[in-house]
Amino acid sequence: MAQFPNLFSPLQIGRVTVANRISFSAHLTNLSVDGLPSDRLTAYLAARARGGAGLIITEEQSVHPTDRAYERLIEAFLPEVIPGYKQLTREVHKYDTKIFAQLNHNGQQCSGSLTRLPVWAPSPIPDVLYRETPKAMEIEDIREVIEYFARSAVHVREGGFDGVELQYGHSSLARQFMSPLTNYRGDEYGGSFENRMRFPLEVVAAVREALGPDFTLGVRLCADELIPGGLNLEDAKQIAQLIQGTGHIDYINLTLATFYNLYLVGGPMHLPLGYTVPLAAGIKSVATVPVFATGRINDPALAERVLAEGQADMIGVVRGQIADPDFATKAKQGRTEEIRYCIACNQNCYGRVGLNKTIGCVQNPSAGAEATEGEHHLKPALRKKKVMVVGGGPAGMWAAKIAALRGHDVTLYERGEELGGQVLIAAKGAGRDEFGVIARNERNQLDHLGVPVKLGVEVTRELVAAEAPDAVIVATGSRPKRSPVGGADAPGVFNVWQVLTGEAGDALGQKVLFIDYDGHHQATATAEFLAELGKTVHVITSSLFVGSELGPSQDLYLTRQRLLQKGVTFTPDFAVMEIKHPDGWQAGPASEVHGFNVYSNAWDVFSGYDSIVTAMGNDADESLYFALKGMTVGGVAPETCSTGSCSTVMAQPTAAARAAASADAARPLELYRVGDCVAPRRVDMAIYEGYMAGKRV
């Protein structure tokens, strides 16, 4: 606590005193069932309360039947939500944590295909993401929504919450009324600033009246829509002053952007830490109530600094607490080395919920399954085993950690000189340095647990026989796949690993043709890496566009922007069929890449490049697994028996000797295979399988 005095000081928000300045702010989880809070959602939020968060703000709770932005949205306007709310708040209140519910109507930013109702909005302007023309709300519609906001607020209060947050941010009907970009009305709810503010102010007044004066109420404002013609920070400051001037609200939470620029809402790894703090500082300069900031504040030191500099009063640590539910407790106790820091990869939080899957986290295999999974649920092993974990990548490190936590005698073997596996290579991609934090987090955990790590050791069947472990967990990873295209074996044709590790070196030359079969960061971050070295890079892909897999994690826009800024050019829709080297076997300017457009079938040739780089996934490194499969360990080796030592044991059948003989008896090796050596996939599966193997061994 002495390390972060501001972060762990209490904050008065209306009638509520929050124990510290760390909030788990509103975010989509997809953990509801049939429009109601579920046990999974309760366990998910309660885990963060147990982990020390001062405040939890639920994901948006819909206030009206016309609002359905996605399938698994909780419907606060139904009285049936109250029992689930009571269970949820009861579990959170077991800890020193307050919980607010966020109420919202998404307006144009939702889908009628889910409700079978027309989408309601201030004006018939389709949203850029949903592209559905809404019905312009009639006066009666506006009054109905205001009434439903008030009705939902009563359900929240009945459900045992400590406060209500009104979502006026990046995805909200209220913002659509406030913004000249989406409000073209000619009546008293459109036109002038005062008219555009009428609906949000009426909602605030109605909710306050429904809640009474003794219940905490706040709003989440969009600090800047960041779109031409939209609201900017000056507008947001005026809005903040007007809403707090009503005397109805107790705090202002902040978000930014719209669906035109959704990548700014949950900033990916390439955005700087605390990138929204300047906006919070702007609102804070006019606010008389506490201001909440959120956005890539993943470190207690940064959070402390934002508070100390007076730029916000409460810090939203969302992804940081998805990755490590015990973030707050560890920070409070000064155990900062033990925090599993979020890397903003967005692959399993934004990346999953955007695809209608339940929330997850690449680094936290129990995210979304807190009722049954996670370090808090581990049971000590009934029999302590000697476990060899082979491979120091994410899968191996997780397997070693979990097995050690369960009390096994674990040794981790890595053939390289450093733990981290492919994470270390991925982190060399342009702007992907933070990916390496995955390895750092787990190294810290292994250090903390005192797990022996043997670096530079190639594990063989002979070594396993000599060590005679009870179990081996094979996590030997994968190697870059050889391109099946003719001519791709030539010198001068490189894979991504050869580029990122520097092995390709000067042989890359100045002009590089990049063949992207991957669509993910492996391709784009390497192409950008080459561009940063000053090379001329052209990327060809058979996909519709380069970076085709980067949409769900919100990386696509900025990746393409950076590639273009660095002079990278693209050819999509192009299938490579053959690489020809007329001047010999070495790839070079004379090499020709032949292929065709996958839609027109028109053949084309790329030539004049000094080298060719391919990104096309990996092959499993499974040789050790198959070498160990079916193996027995222990017992006395035949040559030892021949010396007579074996018979010596058998000749003295004391109880101790019998026990020793039993322990030494040859037994089948308990063998597991996890991560890329099963099938090369992304890091989340490696970590999940490592975790499961550690649990099962």
Partner 1 sequence: MKVLVLLDVAADVRVAPERDPRSGRVREDRLVREIDPAGARALDMALALTSDRPNGEVIVVHAGPAENETFLREALARGCRKAIRVWDGEVAAARTAGKAAVLAAAAQAVAPDLVLAGDRGVIDSGGQVGVLVAARAGMPCVTKAGAAALSADAHRITVTRELERGFREKVEASLPVVVTVAAGAAGEAAQAAPVTAGARLAALEQDIPVWTLADLGVIPGTVRDADRPLVAGRPHPPRPRLQPVAPPDPTLPAFDRILGLVQGTVKAREGKVVRRPAGEVAQEVFEVLRDEGWLDHLKPGPDGPGAAPGGAPRRDR
Q: Which residues bind partner 1 (CB under 8 A)?
A: 2, 4-6, 224-228, 230, 232-235, 256, 261, 264, 270-272, 275-279, 281-282, 285, 304-305, 308-311, 417, 428, 457, 459-460, 462-463, 466-467, 502-503, 505-506, 529, 532-533, 558
Residue (69 or 345) nearer to partner 1, CB: 345
Nearest Cα to 482, choosing from 391, 354, 618? 618
- As a whole number of angstroms, the distance between CA 306 and CA 104 comes to 28
As beta bridge partners, residue 255 has 222
- Indicate the residue type of 440: R
- Shortest gap between Cβ of 140 and partner 1 (angstroms)? 35
Q: What φ, ψ does residue 180 adopt, rounded to 5°? A: -65, -10
Q: How far is CA 135 from CA 118, 119, 122, 186, 694, in A?
A: 6, 6, 8, 15, 54
Residue (245 or 505) nearer to partner 1, CB: 505
- State the burial class of residue 112 (Cβ atoms within 10 Å of its Cβ: 0-12, 13-18, 19+): middle
- Shortest gap between Cβ of 230 and partner 1 (angstroms)? 7
Instruction: Say if residues 595 and 488 touch (Cβ distance below 8 Å).
Output: no
- Shortest gap between Cβ of 263 and partner 1 (angstroms)? 9
Residue (659 or 666) nearer to partner 1, CB: 666
Q: Could you say which DSSP state residue 513 is in?
A: E
- Shortest gap between Cβ of 278 and partner 1 (angstroms)? 5
Residue spans of alpha helices (H) in 644-682 = 645-651, 655-664
Residue (37 or 316) nearer to partner 1, CB: 316
Nearest Cα to 21, choosing from 256, 292, 278, 275? 292
- Shortest gap between Cβ of 240 and partner 1 (angstroms)? 13
The three-state secondary structure class of 518 is coil
- As a whole number of angstroms, the distance between CA 674 and CA 696 comes to 12
Residue 161 token pair: 């919450």
Residue (138 or 309) nearer to partner 1, CB: 309
Residue (395 or 558) nearer to partner 1, CB: 558
Residue (214 or 417) nearer to partner 1, CB: 417
- Shortest gap between Cβ of 227 and partner 1 (angstroms)? 5
- Shortest gap between Cβ of 488 and partner 1 (angstroms)? 20
Residue (222 or 359) nearer to partner 1, CB: 222
- As a whole number of angstroms, the distance between CA 459 and CA 219 comes to 58
- As a whole number of angstroms, the distance between CA 477 and CA 421 comes to 8
- Shortest gap between Cβ of 463 and partner 1 (angstroms)? 3
Matching residue, tokens 């934004």: 350
Instruction: Say if residues 620 and 478 touch (Cβ distance below 8 Å).
Output: yes
- As a whole number of angstroms, the distance between CA 209 and CA 618 comes to 61
- As a whole number of angstroms, the distance between CA 409 and CA 388 comes to 9
Residue (281 or 579) nearer to partner 1, CB: 281
- Shortest gap between Cβ of 61 and partner 1 (angstroms)? 29
